[in-house]
């Protein structure tokens, strides 16, 4: 499910709802899969095949099991769409950084667990720059912070989709997110954990602009990719070129 919320803040992408099935990056990911399975070529669309978009979107769910605590209030406030990522229901909105990597793992490493753990590592390193120690929880994805009481609270969630080794969807990192919205759902189907945000952990105002460059830099570091910001028009021109290239029969 997805709520429309807030302006996008993106690196290597334009301002578009990237997870929508009709969006250009989403179409690109779907079209690259079959082509890359046959070709794996490095020409034509190489720039378009490696992208990290940071956006401030809405709320979504995938293969939901235990969705809402207050379904009537949820339907009244939010428009929702189903997605094809892994995981369960979650909320995306203002004050949150949502990363949407488009990577060809066939060119990097064909290992789904490694990919998820590497996404976590990028956010763990970025969070450490704020003086906050976060880590992983056994049997769960995302990154977790320990409170004074010893309880684990979720700072970032991960839900991905991989087709023919091309990735879509990604992670959601809470910077100044209004955590009350999570009370309307069972985030990621986990009922005994609470969400956290950088603001809550630091007990001060934190802007998304403080965290986004750190996440981008560490994303590039853990995946050994050179990161650079691309203007919207240039980015989509490259994506469309890559999509056209992928559509050409091998």
User: Among the ranges 6-10, 33-37, 86-90, 101-105, which has the highest mean pLDDT value?
Assistant: 101-105
Residue-wise pLDDT tens digits, 182-234: 767 665 656 567 889 999 999 999 999 999 999 999 999 999 998 888 777 77
Domain definitions of the chain by residue range: 24-247
Residue-wise pLDDT tens digits, 17-72: 444 444 555 555 554 443 333 223 322 223 444 667 665 444 444 344 445 444 55
Please confirm, yes or no, whether 46 is among the known catalytic residues.
no
Of 52, 74, 157, 188, the active-site residue reads 188
Task: Specify the CATH superfamily of domain 24-247.
Answer: Bira Bifunctional Protein; Domain 2 (3.30.930.10)
Residue-wise pLDDT tens digits, 144-187: 998 877 888 999 999 898 989 999 889 999 999 888 877 676 65
Residue 18, judged by CB atoms within 10 A of its CB (0-12, 13-18, 19+), counts as buried
Q: E strands, the chain, where? A: 51-55, 59-61, 81-82, 90-91, 96-102, 134-135, 143-146, 152-163, 166-174, 194-195
């Amino acid at each position: 499910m997805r709520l429309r919320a807030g302006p996008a803040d993106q690196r290597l992408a334009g301002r578009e709802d990237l997870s929508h099935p009709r969006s250009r990056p989403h179409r690109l990911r779907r079209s690259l899969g079959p082509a890359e399975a046959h070709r794996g070529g490095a020409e034509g669309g190489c720039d378009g095949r490696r992208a990290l978009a940071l956006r401030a979107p809405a709320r979504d769910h995938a293969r939901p099991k235990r969705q809402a605590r207050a379904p009537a209030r949820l339907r009244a406030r939010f428009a929702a769409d189903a997605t094809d990522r892994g995981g369960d229901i979650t909320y995306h909105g203002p004050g949150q950084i949502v990363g949407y990597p488009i990577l060809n793992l066939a060119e990097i490493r064909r290992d789904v667990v490694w990919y998820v753990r590497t996404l976590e590592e990028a956010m763990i390193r970025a969070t450490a720059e704020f003086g906050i120690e976060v880590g992983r929880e056994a049997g769960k994805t995302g990154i977790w912070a320990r409170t004074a009481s010893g309880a684990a609270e979720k700072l970032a969630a991960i839900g991905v989709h991989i087709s023919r080794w091309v990735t879509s969807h990604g992670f959601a990192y809470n910077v100044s997110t209004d955590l009350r919205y999570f009370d309307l759902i069972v985030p990621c189907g986990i009922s005994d954990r609470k969400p956290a945000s950088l603001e809550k952990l630091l007990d001060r105002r934190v802007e998304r602009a403080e965290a986004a460059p750190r996440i981008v830099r560490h994303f590039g570091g853990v995946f050994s990719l050179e990161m650079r910001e691309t203007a919207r028009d240039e980015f989509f021109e490259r994506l469309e070129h890559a999509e056209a290239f992928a559509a050409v029969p091998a």
